[in-house]
């Protein structure tokens, strides 16, 4: 049983600003690694670093802002947030803007906007809100409703198509149900259903280029200059890094442009090539630290909604890490998932830090809630 | 929706459940982390060597660097084959903003044809955009200067230099020196069969003819390597390692280009050839075949028009007449035959017979005529050589028989390759019973033997074979293969190539050999000698033998009339000889096709060649009086 002591007089400045110090430390460490690696992967382009720092700054402001929002508010807006998100996803399918072979964006005139990013937060909030109204563990009926809540946006996003995001959203919802105590029988049943659903996916839902990716993943050497090129070059970069790496800015695979998507999705290959296994273990240690901090926050959280949401955000963060490293090192097919807080890029960065903002709100506001 | 449940929440049970599930999740995280790390460990530790190799294979490319071809000098250090930079105008498409505009404005500056532009665009499509593509080849120095002054206006366009072979003496040396040309498919097949394709990876040209072809291995050198780092698009980032190529050997030839040029001038419009050998070593001082052609056209790819002109010319300039021309040796081989008779004992120095101009055999109606219709009267071996008596040699051939003739003439190298360092050589034909059976499926008749005595019938020889056989006579049976190559340069000094000595001919009686040489001296210095007029008044003492080869059989009792015969059927004029008589330095053979008599046409040219040679190489010993020498 965890009970947090009430020490109102000893509240630190960070706490009063609703900032979780240990979490912030971990995030800053990751961002630093990211900037150092982007500098190398982007060909020592200072402008690239500046743009990334601006993005990080914006995302941090979003994070700090969301940390101030009362957790109760998240609970109350969850359903509206979710419905609005669903409508926007439908709108994307109807009027969305094409880009990179997929229909993911809504053009709002001023900004282009990716509704699927909203769903990364809306789905776990919605599922957590719904489940937390009942006694835990949830009953079969509640779980079924929860699944429907997860599956609708997942399918809408998979249809765009955006396999990476739909995967992340599905897992964020399922993590809520898992943490809520969904019975093991159901878990295995769902697993079996999923396995049965795979052929359906293959024949009816997946686009040709997605099928190709899976095939290439299964045997990258079959297409050394085609789709397999990315995976092969990425594995060469990682493997040739060895134990201690080739050194910063010394990675030949990245510096000589053999690696594709160097500063975005494949940045882990650049990092591995230049810093080796030792560097990787250090990087994974930072991720583990953040995950442990996140799980601790969820355990200490005051009510079921906060616990479930915090746990889901933390575990989804791990899914990012696992899927990205897995695909770059050749044990998962290539789906567009960035290495969180290290890869160059804006949209997912804002969503990620928004999630951590909610986590900080949960971490720092529990006393306020308990007094209510 | 289900009705809102009002059941009281059990917070502590829920918290416990959540804790358990959180631990399960953490366990899952740990397991998946282990999966990731094991895979990375596998890649980075277990398969490190493999991936490191593949990473290096990506970035490191080994570029072959062509060795510089060895230069070729004549015996006096004159450069016969050099490597000259040729300039091409190269364009790097990537660096040019507006290609069409650039091309048209270059067209104002230089002479660029539509063909050039079409070829350029074709080449451009086959290349990476940052690789240079040639727009113009073989720029003149004026064009180079013109462009260089305006280069700043054309970013991405530059002048590049490459070394290409150049033969400053042009057509004078073609048949001896040969030429190089672009490696074609046939050449590369041959190179790969011989396992030499690696050495030729960067090489543009290969020896196609003459010395360039025969001594290709000496001249080529060894390929070098440049190890470079490239990026994913193949652009060279930096050089990691450079192993310089080993240049080919600089060759020194026995040829004397001044002599060769002199011979070319003397030959003028005559079809024919001249071979001048060092009398001692059989080193080739001059080897010229007329008409010749400029080898430099072949280096840069001869136009099909020019090539078919050479190919179809009636004068057949592509043939190396000195080594491939097969001519009846005619009277030039009478000294050899007389020696064979003496050594075999068929005749003695005292053997005399009466030449009435008509040689007949018992019970044979055919008459073999002497070139002097009324004959030479009483002749012995020496006089028969001096006056070129046919009758004596008809009889000698009859008595020796074809088998002995074949044996002795084979010893002199007839019917066989001389072993010169040229691939373009014919072995011509020395007839024998076996040969006739194989060739015509007919037995050898006695009537076939008689004309062999005057170097006619089926007997053919190349001018080089004749010159080589004269050296064998001079050196009393010691034989050498004629060699164009003298050696190669090592630190500025010539390291001599070994002289190719063949087993000598067994000598029965040295006096026989002396008699033959004396007879050849008599050809020039006796009052009745056939080359007396041509060599009158030389400051050196020459010896030799004329020959006039009949190309058509003249009907029995008909008269040979040069004017009436078409040019192609006129006699070949020939001469073989050496000088100075007592210490021979050079020997030579000349064949002039369809020029007429050897004494009147070939001998005068031989004399001019020798005059020139001895004016360039004055004899050190004070010249004894010609008459005195004759008496000896």
The H-or-E segment that residue B243 falls in is strand B236-243
Q: Which of A141, A252, A315 sits opposite B25 (nearest CB)?
A: A315
Cross-chain residue pair A299–B14, CB shorter than 8 Å: no
B229 touches chain A (CB under 8 A): yes
Q: Is the pLDDT of residue A110 over 80?
A: no
Which of B249, B283, B310 is the last residue in one of the domains?
B249
DSSP-assigned letter for residue A103: E
Are B227 and B331 in the same domain?
A: no
Cross-chain residue pair B58–A318, CB shorter than 8 Å: no
In 3D space, the residue among B608, B569, B568, B603 whose CA is nearest the CA of residue B589 turns out to be B603
Q: Which of A179, A233, A331 sits opposite B22 (nearest CB)?
A: A179
Q: List, in sequence order, every residue forming a beta bridge with B289; answer none if it has no partner.
A: B273
Please state, in angstroms and rounded to a whole number, the distance separating the CA atoms of residues B198 and B192. Answer: 8
Q: What is the pLDDT of residue B470?
A: 96
Q: Which of A137, A181, A252 sits opposite B55 (nearest CB)?
A: A252
Sign of CA dihedral B621, B625, B626, B628: negative
Using CA coordinates, name the residue in chain B closest to A229. B232
Q: Reduced to 3 states, what is the DSSP secondary structure of residue B238? A: strand
For residue B3, is it within any domain?
no
Using CA coordinates, name the residue in chain B closest to A321. B33
| Higher-pLDDT residue of B509, A199 | B509
Which of B18, B20, B27, B28 to mutate to probe the A interface, most A CBs <10 Å?
B18
Which of B196, B214, B249 is the last residue in one of the domains?
B249
Q: Where are the domains of chain A?
A: 17-371
What pLDDT, in 10s, does the model give residues A250-259?
998 888 888 8
Residues of B annotated as part of the active site: 331
A280 touches chain B (CB under 8 A): yes
For residue B26, is it within any domain?
no
For chain A, positions 116-175, list CB contacts with chain B under 8 A. Answer: 133-137, 141-142, 175
Are B438 and B584 in the same domain?
A: yes
Å from B482 to nearest chain A CA? 59
Which of A136, A171, A239, A255 to mutate to probe the B interface, most B CBs <10 Å?
A239
For residue B437, is it within any domain?
yes
**Residue A226: band (very low, low, confident or very high) from pLDDT cuts 50, 70, 90:** low
Are B381 and B467 in the same domain?
A: yes
Chain A environment of B18 (Cβ under 8 Å) = 136, 179-181, 298-299, 304, 307-308, 311
Residue A247 backbone dihedrals phi, psi, to 5 degrees: 100, 150
Using CA coordinates, name the residue in chain A closest to B60. A252
Q: Report the domain count for chain B.
A: 2
For residue B441, is it within any domain?
yes
- What ipTM, to 2 d.p.? 0.91
Using CA coordinates, name the residue in chain A closest to B9. A135
Of chain B, the percentage scoring pLDDT greater than 90 comes to 59
Cross-chain residue pair A135–B9, CB shorter than 8 Å: yes
Please state, in angstroms and rounded to a whole number, the distance separating the CA atoms of residues A87 and A68. Answer: 27
For chain A, positions 319-358, list CB contacts with chain B under 8 A. Answer: 322, 325-326, 329-331
Are B230 and B371 in the same domain?
A: no
Listed in sequence order, the DSSP H helices in B412-529 are 433-440, 446-452, 463-474, 510-525
Q: Which of A141, A235, A257 sits opposite B51 (nearest CB)?
A: A235
A257 touches chain B (CB under 8 A): yes
Please state, in angstroms and rounded to a whole number, the distance separating the CA atoms of residues A68 and B94. Answer: 55
Q: What is the pLDDT of residue A222?
A: 66
Mean pLDDT in chain A? 87
Which of A1, A2, A136, A339 to mutate to probe the B interface, most B CBs <10 Å?
A136
Using CA coordinates, name the residue in chain A closest to B32. A322
| Cis preceding linkage at B551, omega within 30 | no
Q: Reduced to 3 states, what is the DSSP secondary structure of residue B81? A: strand
Residues in chain B: 632
Q: Residue A189 burial (CB < 10 Å; 0-12/13-18/19+)?
A: exposed
Burial B304-319 (b: 16+ CB within 10 A, else e): eeeeeebeeeeebbbb
Q: Radius of gyration over alpha carbons of chain A, in Å?
A: 21
Q: Give the CATH number, domain containing residue B544.
A: 3.40.710.10
Q: Radius of gyration over alpha carbons of chain B, in Å?
A: 38
Cross-chain residue pair A311–B10, CB shorter than 8 Å: no
For chain B, positions 30-89, list CB contacts with chain A under 8 A. Answer: 32-33, 35-37, 39-41, 43-45, 47-48, 50-52, 54-56, 58-59
For residue B270, is it within any domain?
no
Chain A environment of B58 (Cβ under 8 Å) = 233, 236, 252-253, 256, 258
Q: What is the pLDDT of residue B15?
A: 84
Residue partners of B479: CB distance under 8 A and separation at least 6: B413, B468, B471, B472, B501, B502, B503, B504, B505
**Residue A366: band (very low, low, confident or very high) from pLDDT cuts 50, 70, 90:** low
For residue B418, is it within any domain?
yes
Are B621 and B525 in the same domain?
A: yes
Are B480 and B610 in the same domain?
A: yes
Q: Is the pLDDT of residue A98 over 80?
A: no
Cross-chain residue pair A240–B21, CB shorter than 8 Å: no
Q: What is the pLDDT of residue A225?
A: 61
Cross-chain residue pair A241–B44, CB shorter than 8 Å: yes
Q: What is the pLDDT of residue B632?
A: 45
Q: Give the CATH number, domain containing residue B227.
A: 3.90.1310.10
For residue B167, is it within any domain?
yes
Å from A97 to nearest chain B CA? 33
Q: Reduced to 3 states, what is the DSSP secondary structure of residue B534? A: coil
Cross-chain residue pair A242–B44, CB shorter than 8 Å: yes
Show the domain range for B174: 63-249
Please state, in angstroms and rounded to a whole number, the distance separating the CA atoms of residues A172 and B25. Answer: 13
Out of A108-122, A139-153, B546-560, pick the least confident: B546-560
- How many CB pairs (< 8 A) connect A and B? 145
Count Cα atoms within 13 angstroms, Cβ side, for A168. Answer: 31
Please state, in angstroms and rounded to a whole number, the distance separating the CA atoms of residues A189 and A210. Answer: 26
Å from A108 to nearest chain B CA? 35
Which of B249, B280, B306 is the last residue in one of the domains?
B249
Are B82 and B215 in the same domain?
A: yes
**Mean pLDDT, chain B cut into blocks of 10 residues (632 residues total):** 53 86 93 95 94 90 89 95 90 83 85 83 78 82 87 83 90 95 86 89 89 95 90 82 93 95 93 95 94 91 86 90 93 94 93 91 87 91 93 94 94 94 94 92 91 91 96 94 94 88 91 94 92 91 92 57 68 93 95 89 94 89 50 46
Q: What is the pLDDT of residue A368?
A: 46
Which of B1, B51, B236 to mutate to probe the A interface, most A CBs <10 Å?
B51
User: For A57-63, what is the mean pLDDT?
Assistant: 94
Are B476 and B580 in the same domain?
A: yes
For residue B27, is it within any domain?
no
B236 touches chain A (CB under 8 A): no
Å from B24 to nearest chain A CA? 9
């Amino acid at each position: 049983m965890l009970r947090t002591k009430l020490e109102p007089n000893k509240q630190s400045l960070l706490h009063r600003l609703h900032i979780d110090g240990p979490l912030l430390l971990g995030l800053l460490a990751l961002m630093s690694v990211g900037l150092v690696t982007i500098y190398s992967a982007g060909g020592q382009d200072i402008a690239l670093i500046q743009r990334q720092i601006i993005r990080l700054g914006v995302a941090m402001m979003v994070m700090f802002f969301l940390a101030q929002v009362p957790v109760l508010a998240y609970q109350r807006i969850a359903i509206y947030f979710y419905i609005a998100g669903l409508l926007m996803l439908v709108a994307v399918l109807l009027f969305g803007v094409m880009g990179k072979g997929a229909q993911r964006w809504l053009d709002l005139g001023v900004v282009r906007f990716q509704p699927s990013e909203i769903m990364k937060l809306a789905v776990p909030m919605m599922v957590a809100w719904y489940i937390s109204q009942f006694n835990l563990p949830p009953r079969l009926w509640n779980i079924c409703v929860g699944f429907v809540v997860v599956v609708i946006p997942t399918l809408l996003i998979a249809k765009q198509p955006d396999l990476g995001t739909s995967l992340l959203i599905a897992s964020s919802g399922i993590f809520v149900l898992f943490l809520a105590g969904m019975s093991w029988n159901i878990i295995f049943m769902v697993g079996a259903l999923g396995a049965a659903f795979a052929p359906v996916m293959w024949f009816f839902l997946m686009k040709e280029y997605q099928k190709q990716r899976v095939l290439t993943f299964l045997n990258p050497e079959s297409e050394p200059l085609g789709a397999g090129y990315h995976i092969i070059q990425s594995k060469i970069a990682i493997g040739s890094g060895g134990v201690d790496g080739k050194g910063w800015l010394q990675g030949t695979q990245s510096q000589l442009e053999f690696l594709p998507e160097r500063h975005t999705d494949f940045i882990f290959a650049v990092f591995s090539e230049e810093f080796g296994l030792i560097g990787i273990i250090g990087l994974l240690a930072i991720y583990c630290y953040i995950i442990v901090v996140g799980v601790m926050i969820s355990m200490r959280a005051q009510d079921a909604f906060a616990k479930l949401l915090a746990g889901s955000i933390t575990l989804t963060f791990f899914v990012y890490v696992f899927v990205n490293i897995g695909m770059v090192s050749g044990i998962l097919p290539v789906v567009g998932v960035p290495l969180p807080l290290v890869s160059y890029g804006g949209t997912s960065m804002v969503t990620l830090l928004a999630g951590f903002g909610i986590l900080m709100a949960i971490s720092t506001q529990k006393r306020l809630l308990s007094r209510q | 929706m289900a009705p809102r449940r009002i059941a009281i929440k059990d917070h502590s049970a829920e918290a416990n459940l959540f804790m358990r599930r959180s631990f399960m999740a953490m366990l899952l995280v740990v397991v998946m982390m282990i999966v990731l790390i094991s895979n990375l460990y596998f890649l980075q530790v277990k398969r490190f060597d493999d991936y490191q190799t593949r990473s290096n294979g990506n970035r490191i490319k080994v570029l072959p660097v062509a060795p510089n071809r060895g230069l070729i000098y004549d015996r006096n250090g004159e450069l016969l084959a050099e490597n000259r930079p040729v300039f091409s105008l190269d364009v790097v498409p990537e660096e040019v903003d507006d290609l069409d505009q650039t091309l048209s404005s270059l067209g104002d500056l230089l002479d660029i044809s539509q063909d050039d532009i079409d070829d350029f665009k074709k080449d451009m499509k086959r290349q990476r955009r940052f690789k240079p593509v040639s727009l113009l080849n073989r720029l003149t120095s004026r064009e180079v200067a013109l462009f260089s002054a305006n280069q700043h206006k054309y970013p991405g366009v530059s002048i590049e230099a490459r070394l290409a072979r150049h033969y400053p003496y042009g057509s004078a040396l073609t048949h001896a020196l040969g030429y190089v040309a672009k490696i074609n498919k046939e050449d590369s097949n041959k190179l790969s069969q011989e396992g030499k394709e690696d050495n030729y990876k960067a090489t543009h040209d290969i020896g196609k003819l003459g010395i360039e072809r025969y001594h290709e291995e000496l001249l080529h050198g060894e390929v070098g390597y440049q190890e470079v780092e490239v990026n994913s698009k193949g652009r060279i980032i930096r050089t990691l390692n450079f192993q310089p190529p080993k240049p080919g050997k600089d060759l020194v030839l026995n040829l004397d280009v001044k002599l060769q040029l002199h011979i070319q001038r003397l030959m003028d419009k005559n079809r024919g050839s001249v071979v001048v050998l060092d009398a001692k070593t059989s080193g080739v001082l001059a080897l010229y075949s007329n008409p010749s052609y400029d080898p430099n056209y072949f280096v840069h790819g001869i136009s099909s028009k020019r090539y078919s002109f050479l190919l179809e010319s009636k004068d057949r300039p592509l043939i190396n007449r000195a080594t491939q021309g097969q001519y009846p040796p005619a009277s030039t081989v009478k000294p050899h035959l007389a020696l064979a008779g003496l050594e075999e004992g068929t005749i003695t120095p005292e053997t005399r017979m009466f030449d009435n101009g008509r040689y007949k055999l018992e019970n044979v109606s055919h008459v073999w005529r002497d070139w002097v219709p009324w004959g030479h009267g009483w002749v012995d071996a020496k006089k028969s050589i001096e006056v070129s008596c046919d009758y004596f040699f008809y009889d000698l051939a009859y008595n020796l028989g074809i088998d002995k003739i074949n044996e002795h003439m084979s010893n002199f190298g007839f019917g066989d390759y001389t072993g010169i360092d040229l691939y373009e050589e014919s072995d011509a034909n020395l007839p024998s019973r076996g040969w006739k059976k194989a060739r015509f499926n007919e037995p050898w008749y006695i009537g076939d033997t008689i004309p062999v005595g005057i170097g006619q019938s089926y007997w053919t020889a190349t001018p080089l074979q004749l010159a080589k056989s004269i050296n064998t006579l001079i050196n009393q049976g010691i034989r050498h293969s004629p060699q164009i190559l003298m050696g190669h340069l090592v630190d500025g000094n010539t390291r001599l190539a070994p002289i190719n000595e063949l087993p000598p001919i067994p000598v029965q009686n040295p006096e026989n050999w002396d008699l033959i040489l004396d007879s050849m001296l008599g050809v020039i210095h006796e009052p009745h000698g056939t080359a007396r007029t041509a060599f009158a008044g030389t400051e050196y003492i020459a010896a030799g033998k004329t020959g006039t080869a009949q190309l058509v059989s003249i009907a029995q009792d008909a008269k040979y009339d040069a004017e009436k015969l078409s040019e192609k059927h006129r006699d070949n004029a020939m001469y073989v000889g050496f000088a100075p008589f007592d210490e021979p330095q050079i020997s030579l053979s000349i064949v002039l096709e369809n020029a007429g008599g050897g004494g009147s046409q070939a001998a005068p040219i031989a004399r001019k060649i020798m005059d020139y040679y001895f004016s360039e190489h004055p004899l050190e010993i004070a010249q004894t009086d010609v008459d005195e020498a004759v008496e000896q």
